[in-house]
Structure 1
């Protein structure tokens, strides 16, 4: 099966006042559904209070991302699914729960992962 990344940037998720808990509950329900279906690999949101760093092979740490690269933020879910059509269906479920369109990306096959 193929692993898919379903994600959205923080600025895409606009939650009307007083609706945060409803959105959180809906998003958690989709994740629980994915877990029950046996397709869930990982999910979570980037902690935007912690600044990104780059770590070199010698352990040197530099602040920030690669020049010209946007800082990833928002929410991410990785699911392992039998087809792209299945990935589109799950992305649609997450889009409804999070109230914003989702970006769908496919991981390349790696027999070691």
Structure 2
């Protein structure tokens, strides 16, 4: 089975304020379904109030992320699934719950993970 990253950037979620509570309930319900199905690995949202830092191999720290890369923000879920078709189906469930499209990526296989 492969692990899939289902994610969205913060800017993709354009939900009216009066719908945010329902979106939260729907998103948590989708995650509970994934847990009940035994496919949930990990998920969450980037805490955008904590700025990123770059840590070098010598342990030195520089404020900010990679200056050339777009910011990493938003929410993500990692699921372990037997096929890309099932990953697409779960991404669609999460997209429906979050009211925004989800990006789907597969992690490369690593026998140590």
Question: Is this a same-fold pair by TM over 0.5?
Answer: yes
Count of aligned positions: 113
The answer to whether 1:9 aligns with 2:20 is: no
Q: Which residue matches 1:76?
A: 76
Q: CA deviation at 1:64?
A: 1.3
1:97 maps to 97
TM-score, scaled relative to structure 2: 0.98
Offset of 1:17 from its aligned partner?
2.6
Q: Counterpart in 2 of 1:107? A: 107
Q: How far, CA to CA, are the matches of 2:7 and 2:78 in structure 1?
A: 9
Alpha-carbon offset, residue 67 of structure 1 = 2.8
Matched residue SS, 1:27: helix
Query: Which string of whole-angstrom CA distances, capped at 9 and with x for unpartnered residues, describes residues 18-63 of structure 1?
Result: 1111000000000000000000000000000100001112110011
Distance in 2 (CA, whole Å) between partners of 1:50 and 1:41 is: 24
Quote the Cα distance in structure 2 between the aligned partners of 1:75 and 1:100: 11
Residue 64 of structure 1 is matched in structure 2 by 64
Cα distance in 2 for residues equivalent to 1:75 and 1:67: 21
Range with greater deviation from structure 2 (56-65 or 79-88): 56-65
Structure 1 stretches lacking a partner, 5+ long = none
Partner of 1:25: 25
Using structure 1 for the length normalisation, give the TM-score. Answer: 0.98
- Structure 2 CA distance for aligned equivalents of residues 98 and 29 of structure 1: 11
Distance 1:61 1:97 in 2: 37
